[in-house]
């Protein structure tokens, strides 16, 4: 399956049991909810997937199980967030062997690489695989920015680098990318609180977070704005905003997983060193979720517009 870089692609959560094992049954409940809502792809092992805590075997299990479960309905991507080029190349290889149809890639972890080192890292991985690649550009959280000049160097040599998950939180960067690269580099907005704005000024799609708890509302916003029904999309987006703000906090994993408990498609179990929310913080997040559920909008038939 070739990847069409459009639509909503959830950065899915990894579900765990109380004994810290993969909860594949609940994981598939969440994936089914995404498919029912009409998502356009799935991204495994990202920040929300608690990538840094997963073993290589767990990544492979998640990839194989997801590919088998979705059965070609949407493409499955695996995230690469590694410390070494060697490990990144190996993950790209095993992801492809396990049926992943694309990759999302962060710059090298932990080491603050130079621009030249980041470009060579991406090139080495891209040239080791035939899978299409989306570069995850998130300097706010990961401290390395992939600049337009770095993208230009990549696109000249790596035809399978096809998209960027744009998470600089500077929406003007969308226009800069479009002006420089046209349709050569697809743009998937990666910040929930800037999603509608980003789509309206040229982003092709949305790698979403709160979709893990509210898949239908997320896809509805995308489909409505695509159809030109901006006011309807905006009304849902304004209702959604207090929830979307959970995506831009260091504890986004705990917050979004807790939200998915309230919508019946996930658990709040996280893997240490993360801890389940407690005390006043937990009460605050629950109130945000409960307040949103009390006024949850009735969605139009967004799948048939």
Report d(CA 202, CA 301) in Å as an integer. 24
Length of the chain as a residue count = 305
Provide CB contacts within 8 A for 250, sequence distance 6+: none
- Which helix (H) or strand (E) segment is 265 a member of? none
Active site residue 165: yes
CA distance 151 to 19: 43
Helical (H) or strand (E) element with 264: none
Q: Is 136 a catalytic residue?
A: yes
Catalytic residue among 165, 222, 255, 257: 165
Q: Cα angle at 196 between 216 and 189, to 5 degrees? A: 90
Positive or negative torsion for Cα 13, 16, 22, 23:
negative
- Helix, strand, coil distribution of the chain in percent, nearest 5: 50, 10, 35
CA dihedral 245, 250, 252, 255 (to 10 degrees): -90
Task: Point out the catalytic residue in the list 93, 111, 123, 136.
Answer: 136
As given in the structure block, the two tokens for residue 209 are 């977070």
Q: At residue 112, what are phi and psi to the nearest 5 degrees?
A: -85, 85
Q: In which element (H, E) is residue 295 found? A: none
Residue 171 is encoded by which pair of tokens?
């929406």
Residues that are catalytic: 136, 165
């Amino acid at each position: 399956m070739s990847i069409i870089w459009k639509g909503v692609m959830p950065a899915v959560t990894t579900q765990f049991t109380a004994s810290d094992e993969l909860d594949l049954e609940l994981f598939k409940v969440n994936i089914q909810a995404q498919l029912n809502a009409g998502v356009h792809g799935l991204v495994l092992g990202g920040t929300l997937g608690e990538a840094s805590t997963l073993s290589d075997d767990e990544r492979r299990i998640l990839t194989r199980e997801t590919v088998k479960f979705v059965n070609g309905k949407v493409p499955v991507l695996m995230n690469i967030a590694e410390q070494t080029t060697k490990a990144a190349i190996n993950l790209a290889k095993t992801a492809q062997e396990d049926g992943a149809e694309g990759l999302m890639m962060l710059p090298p972890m932990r080491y603050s690489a130079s621009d030249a080192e980041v470009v060579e890292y991406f090139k080495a991985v891209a040239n080791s695989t035939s899978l299409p690649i989306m570069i995850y550009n998130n300097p706010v959280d990961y401290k390395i920015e992939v600049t337009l000049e770095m993208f230009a160097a990549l696109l000249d040599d790596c035809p399978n680098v096809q998209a960027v998950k744009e998470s600089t939180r500077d929406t003007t960067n969308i226009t800069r990318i479009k002006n420089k690269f046209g349709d050569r580099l697809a743009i998937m907005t990666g910040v929930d609180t800037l999603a509608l704005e980003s789509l309206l000024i040229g982003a092709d799609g949305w790698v979403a977070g709160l979709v893990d708890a509210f898949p239908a509302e997320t896809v509805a916003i995308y489909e409505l704005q695509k159809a030109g029904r901006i006011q309807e999309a905006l009304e849902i987006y304004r209702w959604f905003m207090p929830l979307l703000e959970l995506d831009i906090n260091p504890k986004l994993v705990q917050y979004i997983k807790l939200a998915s408990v309230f919508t019946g498609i996930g658990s709040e179990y996280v893997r240490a060193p993360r801890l389940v929310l407690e005390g006043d913080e937990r009460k605050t997040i629950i109130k945000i979720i409960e307040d949103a559920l009390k006024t949850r909008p009735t969605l139009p038939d967004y799948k048939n517009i």
